[in-house]
Chain A
């Protein structure tokens, strides 16, 4: 078996008395779509925050592509190829859709200590940005200010920005959050199109989407991994059914 793309080893994060991540170990294989499910408060977003460098774990180790990234700042992780999207839509609201993606491309190209040439006239930024917008179906909305895009479109833009950094792995924090059924379906199609080309860790509440997309699923309860397995195994797991699937929208 190939080395894991992402390896989480005995990760612990406490907030006061609350243990949000409780000795969690998890491996994501290259190319797989790994879904993370669990009830509210299971520590999913906390985990994403630690993986992307926005929270420092109290103990444990995170390895990405064979490199220890536990203490790396967020921006450095992105440059290694670990990109995230946000649960709460987090585009640059004052910028156009195209500017948003162009900034992601700008970050990918290295440092931005270039002070003179106008960035908006630079085809090496604009062309890849347009391509990423096409990939998520936002080509005709390129010049709209992000704040004026619909919620679903902003979520698509999030994915386009994550894609523009050409990451080896995507951390997707509830990409379908707050979407209507039609928008959700479009997002599932979009992510399905990326499957196999990008490794993904997907946090999602929409069970239909999870079971449609994931190669493997980890169930998180109270900061611990209750079970990891294929969708079929997870569906059949008694413990999981009791703890999670049974009580809700299974």
Chain B
């Protein structure tokens, strides 16, 4: 059983296993959190489902960004394609998940092939700009889809139907859907792990390290990069299909360029080119986004109370004026992101010890 316990020998492995166990057991300990008055179970599951789904999307971006060095600034477009596939099919009465999900994955892969074929011939800033341009193009196509709600989006009446095998529509739908998303995340992580360590993965990582050298070794690097690009698109489309089911709503905002930016931030924050990095990144980024305003308000209230006690109410001033500052929580988030990028090479994953291989 040495293979099973191997990850527990390093801090890096222990943290990774610890996080996955925490995520896996959430449905079982969230009732206690609810009972303790910390957070309602439904809210916890809703927030964490979103975290898990975007961790899938970030992991797919990590495949090309972290392992392949391709800074795709339009990755959210595949979330949109996956989401719209589910939404439009449901709208037309095709509710089967066994149709919706494979089609979402296939269409995303095909779109990625097309975008990759045109953008992967460029490098650096040009690549970033072209991927962004394609994503914007599709964003405006979605905005123009009058039949499906245009700018306002489309509410999905029913979640995907898996012939009753996966009870994501029943009374336990929050728990069931969270667990479904988590299992998909595990499968995606397993797939990425196999991919990046296979011959294909070594070729891909080689192109990140030194593309000209790889060509001189006899690798037609474009082919490996575009296949990785398509796989990443497909996995991100899967995340989009899940997200549409989660929110029961699709809109062009799913593929807005700021969503693509968020995905890049998650990957960089968590640790590029590390398997669990995007999961750390998604957890940290989305939880900060969710809870930083409240946390800031709490800290400001304490500070105000302290100042009142020491200097008197007159010197401390009005609490409301203090709490106004919490509205600028994004400045705090930005500062945290900059500090991690500057001082934590390898992102959050890098804090837990160095990986053995680059």
Taking beta carbons and an 8 Å cutoff, which residues of A are in contact with B?
52-54, 73-76, 78-79, 83-84, 86, 90-96, 99, 102-104, 106-108, 112-120, 122, 125, 145, 161, 165
Q: Could you tell me the distance in whole angstroms from the C-beta of B309 to the nearest C-beta in chain A? A: 55
> Do A119 and B210 have beta carbons less than 8 Å apart?
no
Is there a chain A Cβ closer than 8 Å to B227's Cβ?
yes
Q: Known interface pairs A52-B216, A116-B194. Does A95 touch B199 (Cβ–Cβ under 8 Å)?
A: no
Q: Known interface pairs A75-B221, A78-B216, A112-B203. Does A94 touch B198 (Cβ–Cβ under 8 Å)?
A: no
Contact among A95, A107, A116, A122 for B218, CB-based, below 8 A: A107
Contacts of A76 in B (CB 8 A): 220
Q: Which residue of A lies closest to B194 (CB)?
A: A116
Q: Could you tell me the distance in whole angstroms from the C-beta of A13 to the nearest C-beta in chain B? A: 18
> Do B198 and A118 have beta carbons less than 8 Å apart?
yes
Contacts of B221 in A (CB 8 A): 75
Q: Could you tell me the distance in whole angstroms from the C-beta of A177 to the nearest C-beta in chain B? A: 16
Distance, CA A104 to CA B357, complexed state (A): 18
Contact among B200, B209, B218 for A113, CB-based, below 8 A: B200
Q: Which residue of A lies closest to B273 (CB)?
A: A94
Q: Could you tell me the distance in whole angstroms from the C-beta of B219 to the nearest C-beta in chain A? A: 5
Contacts of A165 in B (CB 8 A): 217-218
Is there a chain A Cβ closer than 8 Å to B215's Cβ?
yes
In the complex, chain B residues 315-358 whose Cβ is within 8 Å of any chain A Cβ: 357-358
Distance, CA A99 to CA B357, complexed state (A): 10
User: 9 closest Cβ contacts across the A-B interface?
Assistant: A78-B218, A94-B358, A107-B218, A92-B209, A112-B199, A112-B203, A75-B220, A114-B199, A74-B215
> Do B206 and A103 have beta carbons less than 8 Å apart?
yes
Distance, CA A93 to CA B358, complexed state (A): 9
> Do A103 and B217 have beta carbons less than 8 Å apart?
yes
> Do B227 and A75 have beta carbons less than 8 Å apart?
no
> Do B224 and A90 have beta carbons less than 8 Å apart?
no
Distance, CA A53 to CA B221, complexed state (A): 14
> Do A112 and B213 have beta carbons less than 8 Å apart?
no
List 24 interface pairs A-B (beta carbons < 8 Å), by A numbering.
A52-B216, A54-B215, A75-B219, A75-B220, A83-B216, A90-B210, A95-B206, A95-B357, A95-B358, A96-B357, A99-B202, A103-B202, A106-B199, A106-B202, A107-B217, A108-B218, A112-B200, A112-B224, A113-B227, A115-B198, A116-B198, A117-B199, A119-B197, A119-B201
Is there a chain A Cβ closer than 8 Å to B23's Cβ?
no
Distance, CA A119 to CA B224, complexed state (A): 15
Q: Could you tell me the distance in whole angstroms from the C-beta of A241 to the nearest C-beta in chain B? A: 35
Is there a chain A Cβ closer than 8 Å to B214's Cβ?
yes
Distance, CA A117 to CA B209, complexed state (A): 22
Q: Could you tell me the distance in whole angstroms from the C-beta of A125 to the nearest C-beta in chain B? A: 8
Most chain A Cβ neighbours within 10 Å, of B209, B213, B219, B224 = B213
Is there a chain A Cβ closer than 8 Å to B187's Cβ?
no
The B contact surface, by secondary structure, is helix
Q: Could you tell me the distance in whole angstroms from the C-beta of A191 to the nearest C-beta in chain B? A: 18
Distance, CA A103 to CA B221, complexed state (A): 13
Is there a chain A Cβ closer than 8 Å to B20's Cβ?
no
> Do A93 and B210 have beta carbons less than 8 Å apart?
yes
Most chain A Cβ neighbours within 10 Å, of B197, B201, B202, B203 = B202
Contacts of A99 in B (CB 8 A): 202, 357
Contact among A86, A94, A102 for B216, CB-based, below 8 A: A86
Distance, CA A159 to CA B200, complexed state (A): 24
Distance, CA A125 to CA B198, complexed state (A): 12
Q: Known interface pairs A112-B203, A115-B194, A118-B198. Does A94 touch B209 (Cβ–Cβ under 8 Å)?
A: yes
Distance, CA A92 to CA B216, complexed state (A): 12
Contacts of A120 in B (CB 8 A): 197, 202
Q: Could you tell me the distance in whole angstroms from the C-beta of A64 to the nearest C-beta in chain B? A: 14
Contacts of A117 in B (CB 8 A): 198-199
> Do B209 and A93 have beta carbons less than 8 Å apart?
yes
Contacts of B224 in A (CB 8 A): 112
Q: Which residue of B lies closest to A101 (CB)?
A: B217
Contact among A74, A91, A108, A112 for B202, CB-based, below 8 A: A112
Contact among B199, B212, B358 for A54, CB-based, below 8 A: B212
Is there a chain A Cβ closer than 8 Å to B195's Cβ?
yes
> Do A119 and B212 have beta carbons less than 8 Å apart?
no
Distance, CA A125 to CA B206, complexed state (A): 15
> Do A90 and B213 have beta carbons less than 8 Å apart?
yes
Distance, CA A52 to CA B203, complexed state (A): 20
Known: A79-B218, A94-B209, A115-B198. 15 other contacts (CB 8 A): A75-B219, A78-B216, A78-B218, A84-B216, A90-B210, A90-B213, A92-B209, A95-B205, A99-B357, A103-B202, A104-B218, A113-B199, A113-B227, A118-B194, A165-B218
Q: Which residue of B lies closest to A102 (CB)?
A: B202
Contact among B200, B205, B217, B358 for A104, CB-based, below 8 A: B217
Q: Known interface pairs A78-B216, A79-B218, A103-B214. Does A95 touch B200 (Cβ–Cβ under 8 Å)?
A: no
Distance, CA A94 to CA B219, complexed state (A): 18
